[in-house]
Amino acid sequence: MKQVVQNLGSGVLELLEVPCPQVSRGHLLIQSRASLVSAGTERMLVEFGRSSLLSKARQQPDRVKQVLDKVRSDGLLPTIDAVRSKLDDPLPLGYCNAGVVVEVGADVGVGVGSYASGFRVGDRVVSNGGHAEMVLRPVNLCAKIPTQVSDEQAAFTVLGSISLQGIRLLQPTIGERVAVFGLGLVGLLTVQMLVANGVQVLGIDLDERRLALAEQFGASIVHLADGKNPVKEAEAFTAGVGVDGVIIAASAKNDDILKQAAEMSRKRGRIVMVGVVDTKLDRTEFFKKELTFQVSCSYGPGRYDPAYEDQGLDYPLPYVRWTEQRNFQAVLQMLADGALRVEPLITSRLAHAEAQQAYDALAGDRQQLAIVFNYPDTEPPLSRTIASGAETAAARADAPSQGAVRIGVIGAGNFTKRVLLPAMAKSDGTLINIVSAGGVTAAHAARKFSFASCGSDYRELLGDEAIDTVFITTRHHQHAPMVVEALAAGKHVFVEKPLAIDRAGLDDVRSALANAEGQQLMVGYNRRFAAHAQKIRQLLSGRSQPLCMTMSVNAGYLPPEHWFHDRGVGGGAIHAEIVHWIDLMSFFVAAPVVAVQALTVGEVASMSHRDGYISITLSHADGSLSTVHYYRNGHRSYPKEKLEIYSDGRVLLLDNFRRLRGFGWPGFKQMNLWRQDKGHRREVCDFVTSVSQGGPPLIPPEQLWNVTEAALAAEKSIAEQRLVRLD
């Protein structure tokens, strides 16, 4: 199937061939019939992508500060790699889609809310899907299209819900006077909805054509290009009283609009911002008039809430009358009733295949308002595995397999693309297939790293007899089940940490490996493969006493809603990250963990809060003691990792895998690197070589089990507030 994507680094926009998404629980797979180009948002993205690197930096000063902090802590070269990788990510465009349901995921055919009896194959639906022939969306971001509403009309639903949510926050009543700044698509939809609800509207803009449309929809207008003062015009519009409310649907890089909105408002007026303008508030005006100011969040309640959007948990209607899905339904009803007219807003109709032409027009013609893509009425393109199109990839796929490790990759996230795939490309392996749930990132990675194919269904990859080695880099709750399936399919397995996030997952993996026929299992504990770690292991080889080690981790802030904190998905910080240092210190000690004591802040703190403040002390079988202090309340300019090792009257200090200093070590004082090395490349290359040549695994299974056992024991120690001994 084809999907419109943009490279934010180069600005190149293309219709990319990608595998069809795999339908998942609580989701709908939809074949597109029409989609709407959001002129404001998408023009901004196109212009940002086509701007120079300096211009990008000027537009995002906060990101520049983050980059400078990363340079100080990690070094220049790793920072350049990270920035380039981020800008190289393909950005799918579009969020206003209408189409037909082709497949439904589990738990979808039941009632959804009070307006629907569930979704079924063949239903016409709207969603916030992109400009793609097939889109996969969760049920709470979809709504059924009434029969009297065309596909083109329905494509305006999501944009209309943005307007509707701004109006709901403003809470206008019949007869009130409301000013609307900015008469783009959102502004003109806002005007129509306000007029339909008995509100007198003053539309304000620079564009004569948009003003004419607003007037046609029943608004009074202020033509700023004629030099008219919007505050004076609002005063005349309200006979000197001031407007009851203002909706800002414009985009501006200064605070002029917000100042004018405050000046034209009556005492105790309301201002709602739907667009993007500078928000420097003039306290004097707001204080004198007791004005209310609020920013509207997209489509309505539920937006950006993973429980609502991803897990399908609806808000009860008696308590949350209008969710984003119910806003979709309300807009669709207005379209069905004729209260909302969108045909006059359409300036261009193009085939989806003409996407490049559409965005060139959008960037070069400010008169473009609504561009609608129409899609071919053909059989849905459901292929979950496609050829990558790279010539070198085709050559690799046809190459003889004797002695070559033939690799399949499940997961194409940022870490995989930035770190693991470049390492695989440097190895002796042959890159055959890469899979991601949505397909877009897999298609991009396949082309960049010359995989023979890409896909969206990992089971098709596991069933490919040409692949003998699988790398698993998905979200953490999927690791153990996928490892079990891959081992059962006869594959060697490299899985990113963690190996498992619960006891059942660990037991399943142990059983699967016991039943495997000579396959290797490797977990991505890369730090033990770093140059500094290898040097430390060498220096410690002659010690005569137990070690004492302290690892301090300046982990950085992570929002409470991040999936790492979700115990059922990310496993929490202990499994998501701290296992790295449990393995590293066990590697230095060369003895397993036998007891764990863990503490965290606040006896009744939430999981997401506790996840950021953890101290774990590990007791090893040889008497050594190691401690991990993992904190998220530090500053990002400070190095992430610092390790102190005390041994036989000597000290080693490792600073962020860039500098190693020795105190009291005969013949060793320091080891510095030009760039940070955490061992990823050596880890991957050594694993591929080990698979190719045979022999023992790089990390014995007993060590893999022990690290996960220690992580589980740390969780138990926190919960029960006691020392936990491992069996």
Percent of the chain's residues with pLDDT above 70: 89
Mean of pLDDT values over 121-136? 96
Instruction: Using a pLDDT cut of 90, give the percent of the chain over it.
Output: 74
**Which class would CATH give 527-725?**
alpha beta
Q: Select from 438, 356, 378, 376 the least CA-distant residue to 15.
A: 356
Question: Between these two residues, 301 and 695, which has the higher pLDDT value?
Answer: 301
Average pLDDT over residues 167-176: 97
Q: What digits encode the pLDDT tens for the residues 569-591?
A: 999 999 999 999 999 999 999 99
Of the ranges 85-89, 629-633, 683-687, which one carries the lowest mean pLDDT score?
85-89
Give the pLDDT confidence score for residue 563 in this predicted structure.
Answer: 83
Beta-carbon count within 10 A of 180 CB: 30
Lowest mean pLDDT among 13-27, 181-195, 200-214, 678-692: 13-27
> Which of 223-227, 595-599, 603-607, 652-656 is predicted least confidently?
603-607
Identical fold for domains 159-295 and 386-521, yes or no, is yes
The pLDDT confidence band at residue 268, using thresholds 50, 70 and 90, is: very high
Break the chain into its structural domains and give their ranges.
2-156+304-374, 159-295, 386-521, 527-725
User: 159-295 belongs to which homologous superfamily?
Assistant: NAD(P)-binding Rossmann-like Domain (3.40.50.720)
pLDDT at 583: 98
Residues 440-450: pLDDT tens digits?
A: 999 999 999 99
In the chain the first and final C-alpha atoms are separated, in Å, by 52
Residue 519 has pLDDT above 50, yes or no: yes
- Gap between the Cα atoms of 617 and 150, Å rounded: 64
Nearest residue to 620 via CA among 710, 518, 722: 710
Amino acid at 64: V
User: Hey, which of 81-95, 110-124, 276-290, 500-514 has the most confident mean pLDDT?
Assistant: 500-514
Domain 2-156+304-374: which CATH number of 3.40.50.1100, 3.40.1360.10, 3.40.630.10, 3.90.180.10: 3.90.180.10
Q: 187-239, pLDDT tens digit by residue?
A: 999 999 999 999 999 999 999 999 999 999 999 999 998 889 999 999 999 99
Q: What is the pLDDT of residue 113?
A: 42
**3-class DSSP state of 55:** helix
Q: 607 pLDDT band (50/70/90 cuts)?
A: very low
User: Taking residues 338-358, what's their average pLDDT?
Assistant: 93
Pairwise CA distance, residues 187 & 210, whole Å:
9
Residue 176 confidence (pLDDT) above 50? yes
Q: Mind listing the pLDDT tens digit for each residue in 385-420?
A: 999 865 554 455 555 444 589 999 999 999 999 999
Q: b/e string for 195-210 if b means 16 or more Cβ within 10 A? A: beeebbbbbbbebeeb
Q: What is the pLDDT, as a whole number, of residue 115?
A: 34
Q: Which CATH architecture has domain 386-521?
A: 3-Layer(aba) Sandwich (3.40)
For residue 346, pLDDT beyond 70: yes
Q: What's the whole-number average pLDDT of the chain?
A: 90
